Structure 1
Amino acid sequence: MSSENQFDVIVVGGGNAALCAALSAQEHGARVLVIEAASKEDRGGNSRFAGTIFRTTHNGLGSIKPFLCEEAAKDVHLCAIEPYTKEDYNRDLSNVSHGRNDPATSEVLLDQSWPIIEWMYKKGVKWETTTRKYYNVEGQKGKVINVEPGAAIMVRNSGVGLIENLYAAVERTAYGPNPITIKYDCPGHDLITSGDMVLGVRTRQRGSYVDIYGHVILASGGFSSNPAMRRQYLGEGWDLVLVRGTKYNTGTMLCRAIDAGARTVGHWGAAHASPQDFHGPLMGDIKISPHIPRYAYQYGITVNVNGQRFFDEGEEYWEKTYAKTGKKIADQPEAKAYQIFDQQAIHLLPKRYETATPIWADSIDQLATKIGVSTQALKRTVEEYNNACPQSDKFDPHALDGLHTNNSILIPKSNWALRIDKGPFVAYAVTCGITFTYGGIQTDTSARALNNEGKHMPGLWAVGEVAGGLFYHNYPGGAGLTKGAVFGRIAGREAALSRLSARSRL
């Protein structure tokens, strides 16, 4: 067998989880190959499109400061960040997943969420706080912003920065004795198996299949860019939603692993789906897609094309509701809605709203006409909502302020219930954008893939979106990248040690 087709560890995928796995396997002495379906220009999977919040435990701003890059350190005076404990993280994860998240996997995630930040920092990842990207710093006019502590840290320059940092770390291994090899335009096609044992990966090239042998770490994503699988598992209309990320997450290797006997787990009928600009590209475009999220709905109201509200915009911090709000929009007529704000809230909209096409009007009647909604219906909705809002000066945009509507309306607003009565008014058209799917392969706490009988499949690990069991119904912002990195690091270490142990016995 040619040495070109023989490696200790083969990582299938090219995003955050994959590269953490590759770097970890390499530092534990393995000869590593990364196969990436995309070209070098398009590498990085969904991670390249991510906002890059990493949900992690920490002891407050003081503990975060030493890990901020030089540019970000200059901005610490803009924000206050309270500690985020393991108990906080566990509560948030359990609440959004309705208690269905796997306890053992969750425990590892919580324990390793801060160590992975430190490890990635040492690999060259540049960190900053989320203050400038997710809050309107200019609109606060010098006020200190209380950043939601669970979503306090992110990678500088978002997904592009994350991928650049991680690939730079991979490329630096070329100067040592054990370089990581990368093959682009090299999609995984199938697993090479002998019973439950995974021996390697069959890759699909233009004129042939090429078999590569070694322990396999699947980090190839879910099925977010496969319209047939979305329609099959997520339901009616999901084949038509906007795709926020890479076009390469087609679910191929996920399906091949299941065919080989891997057990499925998780919420296959749900996905991370959030409000996006209605005019955004149907498939991820790195020049546009990262700039079109519309997550400030808590500061106004959202109505469908019939002029009706359809969810509680102030249920929780946006970081804990945005990933389920997309589905609510997808379920509306035309999968379309409008976020409406008045002058009390417009200064709170994050910078990303500058890429939208705002629809301005001096009155609600005029706004209804401009957005093509029944004037009578929108007027009634706004009047009923306004009448249900309290008379209070306790509005706090950066805390759960308890400013809620009364029970005179069917759909409440639990926080930030300001009247919509200070014109001019503005509306932003939004739709549903899918980020990643929740269903996947069941793994143990070492990221080993389990078969249908619950036993580990020798030679196979699964990390990132291809591994299920942690997210159900909803998702706490930033937990996905943390999960991918944590278990990518674990899988890389375990696969390397397993392979080297087997080699020493030969």
Structure 2
Amino acid sequence: MMDKMVDVLVVGGGNAGFTAALAAAERGRSVVLLEKAVRDLAGGNSYYTAGATRIPHGGLADITDFIEPDERHSATEVPPYIAEDYLADLEKVSEGRNDPELSRVLVEESHGTLRWLQRQGLKYRLMYERQAYSRPDGSFLFWGGLHIGNVGGGKGLMEDHREAAARAGVAVRYGHAGTGLIIDGGRVVGAGYRTDTGESGEVRAQSVILASGGFEANPEMRRRYLGEGWQNAKVRGTPGNTGEMILAALDAGAAKGGDWSTCHSVAWDAGFAENESNFELTNQLTRGGYPLGIVANRNGERFIDEGADFRNYTYARYGQDILNQPGSVAFQIFDATTRPMLRAEEYDMPGVSVMREDSLPALAARAGIDPVVLERTVGDYNSRIDATKPFDPNIKDGRASGVEPRKSNWALALDTPPFYAFPVTCGVTFTFGGLKTDTYGRVLNSAGNPVPGLLACGEALGGLFSGNYPGGSGLAAGAVFGRRAGSVA
């Protein structure tokens, strides 16, 4: 199939690309998928995720029939997460800069798309270890609108995709990096490639779907579009998302879409030696437990509201705040009371960076934090907690500390030794700027007309997110718009 015209060429082998390939193959199209990474390192950013996927639903009874059975279901409460909530969350976290039509399609089709993928062989479950705390009576309450994930996380997601593609007859070519688009008479008619062994060639196709990610793994493009200092961020996911195919599309007349000046970035282990594109540990280097403690910089000062909202709605923007601190590093601080509540997959991972001491001054000295300021910061924080509000991590409990910046929820005094400091830096996940498309992923030019033969999905499609995003909406968008692109290619 590499030597003749095919119906559909997909460039990029993550969740969006494989979904597009499956949708095209289901319609009887011949499909070739080019993946830059070799087989043993493939999967795009999707492989590095926890597999969390945000969809609207009517509660546990509405999803039980397509998720894996679990004996805990009978003691579990999953609040409904309706379409209006999803749309409101997209608008809230992006401060109204999300494209309304793309957002509407994402919300309306994500539930059905997951069911379709489950019929293709992908497996889903409730994410107990990430999205629910056990209550005193042994029951579970899910929170934050994000409840479903892939069995086996991102690794399981991509293994399921590969098996589904094989059954569907998709020709996957690993170690084939897209190098540019082939244009004939104003129409995109294929793409060039270069293999991991140095060979080059091209594939001609009636339609080309770009699912090749953003530009987060390109330090020069990060610096140019995100700003000075972003070249120093750590890449959480695949090293392959370096933006070449987005630039090739722009050269072919495509218009930019979305917010090119912001990205998804998180608190990331600052001290782990191999803290970029770690194919074994993947998402375990994230540090998402900050709502249970405080975050201080090297000066000993807090600089964010750790309890502004559920982690799902804040974690993708706090990486930038950390990048702006002295040395682009900060410290998540917990005590003996809060430390046991942290997610084991992140805070007990092999080689986790952590300092443990029996006093705050000793902890500060070891971490390189100003000890006088840190002790004053913690003292002020502890003394201004509204102890009349009961602590409950399953809801926004209003248990605030009236310091500046305020901690709006889940404020527990840090006063029980030993004390812990986890050093974090900025981990960049994906860039929000991409190509301008219609709701089926057809790439548009500056006049708003389709670039013939060219479509985009996944992180190459711009317009859904700006400044922040609701956790789990990235994989959902990749699936929805991948399916849509494959349905018209």
TM-score bracket relative to the smaller structure = over 0.9
1:431 to 425, 430, 443: 425
Question: Which residue identity is paired with 1:66?
Answer: D
1:480 aligns with 2:474: yes
What is the distance in 1 between the residues matched to 2:223 and 2:322?
Answer: 16
Cα distance 1:390–1:3, how it changes in 2: closer, same or farther (>3 A)? closer
User: Deviation at 1:182?
Assistant: 1.2
Distance verdict in 2 for CA 1:142–1:250, change over 3 Å: farther
Q: Could you tell me the percent identity over the aligned residues? A: 41
1:289 CA displacement: 2.7
Q: Secondary structure at the match of 1:76?
A: helix
The structure 2 residue matched to 1:376, chosen from 359, 372, 379, is 372
Aligned residue pair count: 483
How far the C-alpha of 1:239 sits from its partner, in A, is 1.1
Separation in 1 of the partners of 2:92 and 2:376?
Answer: 34
Question: Which residue number corresponds to residue 79 of structure 1?
Answer: 76
> In the alignment, is residue 228 of structure 1 matched against residue 227 of structure 2?
no
Partner of 2:337: 344
Residue 69, structure 1, aligned to residue 68, structure 2: yes
- The answer to whether the 8 Å contact 1:135/1:348 transfers is no
Taking the aligned partners of 1:41 and 1:329, their CA distance within structure 2 comes to 33
Gaps in structure 1 of 5+ consecutive residues: 174-178, 496-506
Aligned to 1:298: 291
Q: Of 410, 413, 428, which aligns to 1:416?
A: 410
Q: In terms of mean alpha carbon deviation, does 18-27 or 369-378 score higher?
A: 369-378
Matched, 1:163 2:155: no
**Partner deviation per Cα, 1:149-198 (whole Å, 9 max, x = no partner):** 5210000111100000011001112xxxxx21111111111111135421
State the TM-score, normalizing by the size of structure 2: 0.96
Give the alignment of 1:82-481 within 5 angstroms. 82-134=79-131, 143-173=138-168, 179-194=169-184, 196-205=186-195, 206-280=198-272, 281-351=274-344, 352-355=346-349, 356-406=352-402, 409-481=403-475
Q: Which moved more, 1:206-215 or 1:125-134?
A: 206-215
Distance, in Å, in 2 between the alignment partners of 1:119 and 1:197 is 31
Q: 1:236 Cα deviation (Å)?
A: 1.5
Q: Distance in 2 between matches of 1:108 and 1:224?
A: 25
Deviation digits for residues 301-347 of structure 1 (CA, Å, limit 9, x no counterpart) = 00001111011000000000000011110110111111111233222
How far the C-alpha of 1:241 sits from its partner, in A, is: 1.2
Q: Which runs of 5+ in 2 are unaligned?
A: none
Structure 2 contact 133–394 (Cα < 8 Å) conserved: no
Partner Cα distance (2:424, 2:474) in 1: 23
Q: Secondary structure at the match of 2:348?
A: helix
Please give the alpha-carbon distance, in whole angstroms, between the structure 2 residues aligned to 1:375 and 1:440.
Answer: 44
1:136 and 1:350 in contact (8 A); partners too: no
Distance in structure 1 (CA, Å) of the matches to 2:2 and 2:256: 34
Residue type of the alignment partner of 1:95: K
Distance 2:387 2:82 in 1: 35
Secondary structure at 1:182's aligned position in 2?
strand
Q: TM-score, normalised by structure 1?
A: 0.92
Q: Provide the secondary structure at the position in 2 that maps to 1:323.
A: coil
Instruction: State whether residues 133 and 142 of structure 2, in contact with CA within 8 Å, keep that contact through their aligned partners in structure 1.
Output: no
